[in-house]
Amino acid sequence: MSKLVPAHGGKGLVCCLLEGKTLEDEKKKAAGLKQIEISSRTKGDLIMMGIGGFSPLNGFMKKADWKSVCEKMLLADGTFWPVPVTLDISAADAKALKNGEEVALVRKGEVMATMKVEDIYAMTDADKKFECELVFKGEGPDSEKFWEVAPEDHPGVKMVMAQQEYNIGGPVKVLSQGEFPQKFPGVYMTPAELRKKMDERKWQKVAALQLRNPMHRSHEYLAKIGVEVCDGVVIHSLVGTLKAGDIPAEVRVRCIDTLVEKYFVKDFIIQAGYPLDMRYAGPREALLHATFRQNYGINNLLVGRDHAGVGDFYGMFEAQEIFRKIPTPSDDGKRLLCQPLNIDWTFYCKKCDGMASMRTCPHGKDDRVILSGTKLRKMLSEGAEVPDHFGREEVLAILREYYSGLENKVEIKMQRAAAGSAM
């Protein structure tokens, strides 16, 4: 009997992925349906609905759910959910559709799913701004001038504002997991697969380390704190699409493999990957990370400085604080059960001669090597020397090899958190 946390929503894992003859029959039907081209973000959302990662969602949000999630972080039925999961279409496609009609959802020639359209609703610029202000606006310096900065500098806001004129909502039948099972064998896992692996180890209290950057010494330290206080830690990497200048998943997976091989006791660590694109929604995305981690059987999310942030849009520990402000439905099934494992700002201290945090190190800023994924990417991209104790040499060798092969490098902007200027 599994002792892992139950899936979010109180309905078990809600998996929309078809198999066997049902899958083949639906593929044949899809060939005769009207096709809707979807974005990379939508593809990731679809796969998560397929494998149960977005339980209890079984489709894209209708207007009532979208509005309630933006305003209250609740689905229309009162279940906690922190960010909209929507599907945008053009005005021309919306005009040609009818409620109750089935469509095929296609990404670059591959039919990913079929969908029954149950709601067609306009998304004006005002609606998009409403979503952006509630979901992406934080408490950092850039949010004081949000609409001056965000349309150019916040990838999540840019994504929403670039969406087409309408959304459609309704249930989906997912036909594919895309390239992820083949591209990341042994790393990409469905919630059921990861749960089975953790059950075999008899884990009950599990922490997840969210990663979108190469794993540096701070990440390693956070993971080891999790190992000390939990039965095990899942190093859970995003293997979907990132913004320009971020490091591809294949490279990051190699880095983690190297660290796990050389610096962790393997009985207490699992490396896994999930297929989403980043939304860069800071605190709201931290809540999303906790919500779908619960579906993977994980009941603690390691949350450090500026979790899922971008630029200076969020307060340093806003992603920790938001967990204390969320709605808590009386029904256990509708409430978020995965809780944060909050860690203070971490760094290498020369005087302490080891990794430390603001809570454990009494020394000054000049004694500390400030660690951040953004800072590491900037140094490597510019060919700068990486300070001692910033990362493991085996990992830095992999990253230097990657950067040496790049023909076009993207300028990496430093926010105050990554630079250490807010300490």
Domains along the chain? 20-174 (3.10.400.10)
| The two three-digit tokens of residue 240, written as one number | 């979907």
Whether residue 375 is predicted with pLDDT greater than 80 in this model: the reply is no
Please state, in angstroms and rounded to a whole number, the distance separating the CA atoms of residues 174 and 207: 29
Mean pLDDT of the chain: 93
Give me the active site residues, please: 212-213
DSSP 142: G
From 76-90, 242-256, 314-328, the region with the lowest mean pLDDT: 242-256
Phi, then psi, of 386 in degrees rounded to 5: -90, 125
Please state, in angstroms and rounded to a whole number, the distance separating the CA atoms of residues 319 and 140: 12
Per-residue pLDDT at 418: 47
Task: Return the exposure string of 34-59: e unless at least 16 CB atoms fall within 10 Å of the residue's CB, then b.
Answer: eebebbebbbbbbbbbbbbbbbbbbb
Whether residue 276 is predicted with pLDDT greater than 60 in this model: the reply is yes
- For residue range 104-115, list pLDDT tens digits in order: 999 999 999 999
| The two three-digit tokens of residue 67, written as one number | 């509005």
Please state, in angstroms and rounded to a whole number, the distance separating the CA atoms of residues 368 and 349: 4
First to last CA, the chain: 46
Query: pLDDT tier at 212 (50, 70, 90 boundaries)?
Result: confident
- The 3-state DSSP composition of the chain as helix, strand, coil percent (nearest 5) reads 40, 20, 45
Please state, in angstroms and rounded to a whole number, the distance separating the CA atoms of residues 413 and 329: 40
Please state, in angstroms and rounded to a whole number, the distance separating the CA atoms of residues 400 and 404: 6
| The two three-digit tokens of residue 230, written as one number | 């939990």
Please state, in angstroms and rounded to a whole number, the distance separating the CA atoms of residues 74 and 72: 5
| The two three-digit tokens of residue 18, written as one number | 């078809």
| The two three-digit tokens of residue 347, written as one number | 């760094």
| The two three-digit tokens of residue 421, written as one number | 């200027």
From 111-125, 167-181, 206-220, 376-390, the region with the lowest mean pLDDT: 376-390
Per-residue pLDDT at 410: 54
The alpha carbon dihedral of 259, 247, 137, 52 has a sign of negative
Please state, in angstroms and rounded to a whole number, the distance separating the CA atoms of residues 400 and 377: 10
Query: pLDDT tier at 420 (50, 70, 90 boundaries)?
Result: low
Please state, in angstroms and rounded to a whole number, the distance separating the CA atoms of residues 367 and 370: 10
Please state, in angstroms and rounded to a whole number, the distance separating the CA atoms of residues 307 and 289: 10
Per-residue pLDDT at 114: 98
Whether residue 245 is predicted with pLDDT greater than 80 in this model: the reply is no
From 82-91, 137-146, 173-182, 241-250, the region with the lowest mean pLDDT: 241-250
Whether residue 419 is predicted with pLDDT greater than 80 in this model: the reply is no
